[in-house]
Each structure stands twice: as C-alpha cells, then as structure tokens.
Amino acid sequence: MAGCRGGVALHRAGRVAIFGGTHGNEMSGVTLVNLWIRNAAEIQRSRVEIRPFLTNPRSVEKCTRYVDTDLNRAFTPENLSAPNCEDLPYEVRRAQEINQIFGPKGSQQAYDVIFDLHNTTSNMGGTLILESSEDDFNLQMVRYIKDAIAPVPFYVLLTEHPVLQYATTRSVAKHPIGLEVGPQPQGVIRGNILETMRSILKHALDFIELFNGGTEFPPCTVDVYTVSERVDYPRDEERNITAMVHPDLQDHDWEPLNPGDPIFLTFDGRTLYYEGDSTVFPTFINEAAYYEKQQAFVTTRRDTLKANGIKALNT
C-alpha cells in the first residue's frame, strides 16, 4: 500500500467472484449465479475478471441450507488444513476446494473481492455485511452503493467482534463482502428481493470498474451497525424454546430497541422485556436458519466509520 493525496493507493481489484448457493435454499443468489454462469453479459466489466460460482451444489440440489455442516462457518484454519478424505463433512471438503480455487485464504494470490449472496427470512431489506472496520476499499464501495441507490433503504452490518465473528465462505478474499437481502422464505424466489440484490451488486461492480479505471474516491464516512450481542430464545431446563419473538419486535429490524421494550411472548402469554442498559438496534430478528444456532436476534450499535480516500496503483 502506498500513499496518495488524501488517502491511500491500493492494488486494483482485478479478480472478483460472485458466490451463490453457500446456503442452498437461499434462492436469489442461487438463481442469479446460475443465470450468470449461463450468460455473464450482465456482470461483465472491461477492467475486471468476474467469475460467478455456485458454492454448495449439493445443498442447492436438495434445496437445503447445507448437507453436513454450515459452509458459511467452515473456513477455519483447522478445516482448511485438514487432510482431505471422504470422512470429512461434505462442506469442509468443499471449503478446501473453494480455498484452492479462490485463495489461499490470507495470501496475495487470493481473489481480490468475493461477493457472497444470501437471503434472510428477517425483514432486513438490502444489507451489506462487512468483516473489518479498516477496509477502506469496502467502505468506499458501500458509500458508492448507498449514494447510487438513495433513497432506497440500505444497511451495513459490521460483524467485527471478538467472539461472534465466524469463518465465512467469502473470507477467502482480500475484500470479503456479504450481501443479505430479505425478507424471503427459504426455498422461495421473491421478485422484489431478487431485483434488490441484483441492483446492489450492479452498483458494486460499477464501483470496482471505476476504481480500476483510475477514479479517485475522496475520504468519506459510512454509517454501520456493529454486532454487539447474540440473544437466544428463552428455554426450559431441557433447552426447549418457551417463547416466541414478541409481535412488537417482529419485522422491526434496524429499529431502536430500548430498555423495557417487549422482546418475547411466552407460550403461556407473558411478555418478556429487554433488560439492556442502553438503546440497541436488533437485526436478524426471528431468522429461520438461526433456530439451530440458538439465536433469536442480534443486537447492534450504530456507528460512523471514517474511510480514507483511495485510488488504484499504476493507473
């Protein structure tokens, strides 16, 4: 990395991958990637190599989240370095294959950008998921997209957390970015959700094309929601769920949750209240796939990040 006026000069993003089907029942990404594998004209740009890729074909075939284990949690050092054999879970073997094709993870040879396309059953709208508060390239990309689609609601979730961050499929890339769009039921295509995903990705690719072509992006600020806590459902001694998300919280992703606000309604009719000491912003509320992960929602705090100005080296 070298200096430039008002910011930093970064290597061009010459290789970009678009992942769909990390979870095989999240149909917007599956549908778009399958479309672009057959005809990539829509995503082609002159200054960047773009590769659409179906990440978990077996789960796509079965229309399930995964076959053996969650691929979006499988990219740990232990999994990637394990001897490849038939005894390994399918998704671990698939993670090793993806790491060989698009990585190795953490190396200079890795792909520059990976967009990982996801759907959620939660009412999250269009959400970009970042893994680092110091990635100027991704922050500038988010700022560009937000300006391009304004006033359409658009959110940025920062998963930088010492405990809650996990080894995602996209983390193979130098600049990993998740795209989460909902609400959409599992195994279903909703036209408005698919088109939101398509529009956000179009502007992201436009940004990369401009950056690679020498456009300088000045310093900027980006509003993000930083993950702070994972909240489980109330449970009994046998770990059975005893309450559901309260109707006053359901579908209110990104809205303020204040101490004393209702969060759960027990099956016998009692209201349970948020006992935190400050206002937070919940998201992934009542996500269907997170019942198995013992998560009813996550709380976030609203932050503003400052991004350095960027330009491409050797333009």
Catalytic residues: 180
* Closest C-alpha to 184, from 57, 19, 23: 23
pTM of the model: 0.95
What is the sign of the dihedral through the CA atoms of 66, 69, 285 and 128? negative
Q: What are phi and psi of 266, to 5 degrees?
A: -70, 160
In the chain, the domains with their CATH numbers are 2-224+305-312 (3.40.630.10)
Contacts of 237 by beta carbon, 8 Å cutoff, 6+ apart: none
**The tokens of 308 are what?**
């350095």
Q: Which residues pair with 298 in a beta bridge?
A: 230, 283
Number of CB atoms found within 10 A of residue 312's CB: 23
Residue 6: the pLDDT is 60
What is the residue-level pLDDT of the chain in tens, covering all 315 positions?
A: 344 456 899 999 999 999 999 999 999 999 999 999 999 999 999 999 999 999 999 999 999 999 999 999 999 999 999 997 788 999 999 999 999 999 999 999 999 999 999 999 999 999 999 999 999 999 999 999 999 998 888 999 999 988 888 899 999 999 999 999 999 999 999 999 999 999 999 999 999 999 999 999 999 999 999 999 999 999 999 999 999 999 999 999 999 999 999 999 999 999 999 999 999 999 999 999 999 999 999 999 999 999 999 999 975
